[in-house]
Amino acid sequence: MKLIVKKTVALSGQVSPPGSKSQSIRAIMLASLCRGTSVIKNCLRASDTADAIRVCRAMGAVISESDDMLTITGRGLPLDMQTERIDSGHSGLTTHFIMPLLGFRKNPDHPVVLDCSKQMRARPIKPLVDALCNLGLQIDYLENPDTLPVRLSGQLTGGKTIVDGTTSQYLSALLFALPLAPDDSEMIVNHLQERPYVEMTLQWLSRQGIQVDHRAGGGADIWKIKGGQFYQPFHAVIAGDFSSAACLIAAAVLVPGDVILQGIDMNDPQGDKQLVYILREMGADIEIQPTRLRIRGGKKLTGIKIDARDIPDLLPILAVIGTIAFGKTEICHVAHARIKETDRIHSMFDGLSRMGANIIEQDDGLIIYQSALSGAQVKGFGDHRTVMALAVAGMIADGETVIDESEAIHKTFPEFVEIMQSIGANLEGEHATLA
């Protein structure tokens, strides 16, 4: 699918983002590990959560879906696997979370194969594999070292290990799994990034009464987890997704108008809510209310330096914001944005350069100078965040912008085009036709 975007002169109205992807997948995984029935409302309905649901059904959970909620009945441990081969699809979070949980199978000596999409196969998993092998699992690469697919056998027993913190998903996956292991565990985590996502994981554990001890020192984080714990069924309402809302917020700031964003919670631990404070520092008119934001767009912005180590998903839209901000915007300490669905540092450099931006690619980020953008044919790189950010760029550019591989938005925000159109954005999706 191609996304065709033209300059938008004004935005107005009220919109709501979808439910948080990160919270939704954590809730689905947790509910599937309980013995009993859990109810999750406002769960994201997108391809990433569909991947999580499929994987949890393969682990034996019974999941029913309705328009506004999921009902999940788990059988507890050990997991009664329904298949010997699991496909985690495009979802990195699902892939990383499922790996340690496969160590709780009913027949741990009977191998199971974990595979994923071609895009996910390109992402490294060696740090997580090495950590899991120290904790009782046996994992063999089936094709290429350091990537899926893999064959897993053995039991996740607990113990001591070292975890790379370049992506917080490795640590969060282990924090979810190790309380269920028979033995106590200790993890040393080096170079921990994306700390708000770890706080999100810890919030779920705290609600369940799980015992986790954390201390930091000597440049590392040390986690001690008591084994033999268990999860109990729960009811939860998922907050709106700040990562998806980021493009709605940015568009409302960059284009003149008056937009209300509903269904968000500034007290939720999602790190990407930081965008609101970054934009206000740059000069945006954003009024924070208990469950919504009111944004009056078109105000003059000034470039700043942004440490994005905890908010890598914001790099694409921050780069777009930088093109309209007076002076220089520097996004730094976010080299790990290169190992997402695509290399987001390069994808945004490529797309914005094609549109005429004065932008410099660095090892760990981008430098962007205020620029006059022009419409162009740009690549979506199969990455939902890149596609949505370039769509916002197209809304402030002169002429027409065409973004390829825009079907990637279905990963986390299937309604992106329709919601943007509802407040006045000049964009539309064009599906390819067969000759």
Sign of CA dihedral 26, 109, 145, 58: negative
How close are the terminal C-alpha atoms of the chain, in Å? 15
CA 186 to chain centre: 26
Contacts of 133 (CB under 8 A, 6+ apart): 139
Q: Are residues 150 and 142 in contact, defined by beta-carbon separation less than 8 angstroms?
A: yes
Short-list 200, 12, 5, 186, CA closest to 93: 200
> Would residue 313 show up in a list of annotated catalytic residues for this protein?
yes
- Options 48, 87, 310, 313, the catalytic residue: 313
- Rounded Cα distance between 139 and 162, Å, is 17
Outline where DSSP puts E strands in 60-182. Answer: 62-65, 69-75, 85-87, 112-115, 137-141, 150-154, 159-164
CA distance readout (Å), 48 to 23, 95, 239, 276: 12, 10, 16, 25
Q: Are residues 273 and 266 in contact, defined by beta-carbon separation less than 8 angstroms?
A: yes
Q: HSE-up of 48 (CA within 13 Å, CB side)?
A: 29
Q: Are residues 268 and 236 in contact, defined by beta-carbon separation less than 8 angstroms?
A: no
CA distance readout (Å), 330 to 155, 165, 214, 303, 366: 46, 23, 33, 8, 6
- Rounded Cα distance between 424 and 2, Å, is 19
Any idea which residues carry the catalytic annotation? 313
